Every structure is written in structure tokens, then in C-alpha cells.
Homo-oligomer: A and B are copies of this chain.
Amino acid sequence: MSEVMHTLNVELGERSYPIYIGRDLVADATLLRQHLAGRQLVLISNETVAPLYAQALVKALGDQQRFTRIELPDGEQYKTLESLNTIFDQVMADGHNRSTTFVALGGGVVGDITGFAAACYQRGVDFLQVPTTLLAQVDSSVGGKTAVNHSLGKNMIGAFYQPRAVFIDLGTLRTLPDREFAAGLAEVIKYGLIVDAPFYAWLKANMSALLARDEQALAYAVERSCAIKADVVARDEREGGLRAILNLGHTFGHAIETRQGYGQWLHGEAVAAGMVMALALSAQRGWIEPAEVSTLVSLLEAAGLPTEAPDDMSSAEFVELMGRDKKVIDGQLRLILCRDIGNAEVVDDVSTAELTALISGSG
């Protein structure tokens, strides 16, 4: 039986939307159909997730006037303008108009590309998120950042475009491979680090329950994560300021992902190593105790995540790749550092010398 365990709301005026967290939501016809405006549907998934959940979801969504099902290959390397083009070709060929609804069933790649396709198709159609990875559930499905990658940088082409609703079915985590589950935990840990020290303490105490995929523990961790993200996004939708704190570890992480080539390191893995670097830099500035870096390393190791950048990645490479980050303004890198656990801030005075000392020291 399906059950909604938590309902959150992302408060964005006329673009506000609910996040439902619960059990067996992919089959909850009553809930899903409340959020369908028309009778045209484009279901976008990938070849890994679709065989597991598409049938139940399609049945729950009901009969449509027009129905197009698209399965992308699985992987970050397919989050491209070319995949987007494939989507438009099929949706156009099937004659979908402005009253269609795009539904994303899958992880962050499927959600990001589907959201961007929905943002652009006929200048914007409805879309729903059904995230099936922990990373997508706690991060990419909430907040309206959509994008595809460019060969020279991740998420360089995209839009801020909010879904109409997010349906988080915790049951889908049962089929998630351990490595991807761990990658999602990196973002969960991030929420504790940036704004919620008690949640960070809870994570240290409950990591084994989470790794055992205990439903109650998962429901709590996902709810806290989404609540924090929804709150930050509601206060700064288009990343004018505050929202940037959600990027703790991400500028370092993006550099690692770009250097290694998409698909080698998972996003969450790169963020994990990046968060250690961000905390080490915070400690290097004397803002936090060095022991906090060790505590984070232990927690990430318990979660099965990497805690260091690739050995052979030089400080020069970091400096060059980080300089391409979207958060660079007038040549000045902006990084997220921690004043304290649960208290992150945007810093725009990190020098190349400081970065080099950090990376050489940790290399």
C-alpha cells in the first residue's frame, strides 16, 4: 500500500510545489493524477530504471491522449544537447503541445535533462519529478536547477525551472547500487555541515541504520535534507547569494569530475572529497578545529565515500579547472567554507597561494 510519510512545500509564490516522501508512491494513482493538468504525457527515464518502475508508474498515471516514452542510455555522459535533441525529435513527432506534462523517472541525469527539456519545449511545459536515487531525492529533484553538460564544463547549459511536484518513493532506494547510495549520502552529510549541526550529529549516530536502508531512518534523513534545501531555495531561488552554500565541496568536486572525465567519479563521490578539501581550507584559516576534518573523513569513510582527490591531480590543475566555475565573478573564485559545523558561508577572497598550499599539503 502506498503511504505519504511526509509532505513539504517549496515556497516560491505562484511556482510553489509539494514534495511527497513515502512508500510506493510510483503506484499511487490518486496522488499522481492530482498533478496532471492535461492528458498528454512524456515519460523520460533510462534503460536501468525504466524496467524497474516505469510499468507501475505508467499504470498509475492512467490513459493519455498522447503518450511518449523515452529511455535514455544510463550515465552522465549522455546529459548532453544531443540527448535533448533526441527528446525534442520524439516529442515533436508525436505532436505534443503546450498542455503536455514531462515526467522524469530516474536519477539526477534524467531529472536534469527532463527538467531542461520541459523548460524549453514550446517555451515551457509542466513537469513532474519522480527521483529514484538518493542523490536525486535529496538534491537534484528539488529546487529547479536543470541543465545539460558541455564538453568543457558541467551544467553549463540550462535553466531555473521548477517542477509542479516531486514524488519521492523511498522504496526505489532498495534497488539502488551501494556505490550510488553512498554518493547520495555525501549530499545528505552536506546539509548537516552547512546549516544543521544537530542533523550532522544524528547522521554520525545513525549511519549504520542508513546503510542498512532502514525505512524510518531514510525517511528522516530525506525529509531533513529536502526541508533544508527547500528552505534555502525559497529564500534565494536563482542563486543570488545564500543558495550558493548548497555548493559546499562542489567547486573542488566539479574540478575532479571534469579532470577525470564524466562518469569516472560519481558526483557525490567528488563532492565528498571536495567537502574534505573545503573543511581543510576552513581549518587552514583557523575557522574550525582540525579534528573536525578528521571527523568528516571518518563519517565519509563509514558511508563508503572517497575523502581525497586523485593522487596525481596537481594544484595547478585544480586552480585552472576551478577558475571555470559558474560561481567565478570578475575573475574571483567564490568558495563555500565553514565558520563552524552547521554554519557555512560564501567566501570570495581565497587566493591561488592559499589553494596551492591546501592542495600541495594534502597531496
A residues with a Cβ closer than 8 A to B are 38-39, 65, 81, 84-85, 88-89, 92-93, 95, 97-99, 119-124, 145, 147, 150-153, 155-160, 238, 323-331
Contacts and interface: CB of A to CB of B under 8 A. Distances in A.
Given A85-B81, A99-B329, A330-B38, A93 B152 contact: yes
Interface centre among A119, A120, A147, A331 (most CB of B within 10 A): A120
A124 B159 contact: yes
Contacts of A85: 81
A39 B330 CA distance: 8
A22 B219 CA distance: 61
This chain's copy number in the assembly? 2
A98 B157 contact: no
A279 B151 CA distance: 50
Given A38-B330, A99-B329, A120 B150 contact: no
A275 to B, nearest CB: 23
Contacts of A93: 152
A92 B329 contact: no
Contact of A123 (B97, B145, B323, B329): B145
B330 A120 contact: no
B88 A157 contact: yes
Nearest to A153: B92
Contacts of A238: 123-124
Given A92-B150, A92-B153, A152-B93, A158 B123 contact: yes
11 contacts: A65-B330, A81-B84, A81-B85, A89-B150, A92-B156, A93-B152, A97-B329, A98-B328, A99-B329, A123-B158, A159-B159
Contacts of A89: 150
Contacts of A326: 97-98, 122-123
Nearest to A116: B120
9 residue pairs, one from A and one from B, having the closest CB atoms: A92-B152, A123-B158, A97-B328, A120-B157, A122-B326, A92-B150, A99-B329, A98-B326, A123-B160
Query: Quick one: which of A39, A97, A99, A123 has the most chain B CB within 10 A?
Result: A123
A324 to B, nearest CB: 6
A51 to B, nearest CB: 30
A151 B88 CA distance: 10
Contact of A157 (B65, B121, B147, B158): B121
A78 to B, nearest CB: 16
Nearest to A328: B97
Nearest to A122: B326
A164 to B, nearest CB: 15
A160 B124 contact: yes
Contacts of A120: 120, 157-159
A189 to B, nearest CB: 26
A238 B98 CA distance: 12
Contacts of A147: 123
B65 A331 contact: yes
Nearest to A144: B123
A12 B92 CA distance: 31
A146 B209 CA distance: 49
A330 B65 CA distance: 9
A258 to B, nearest CB: 12
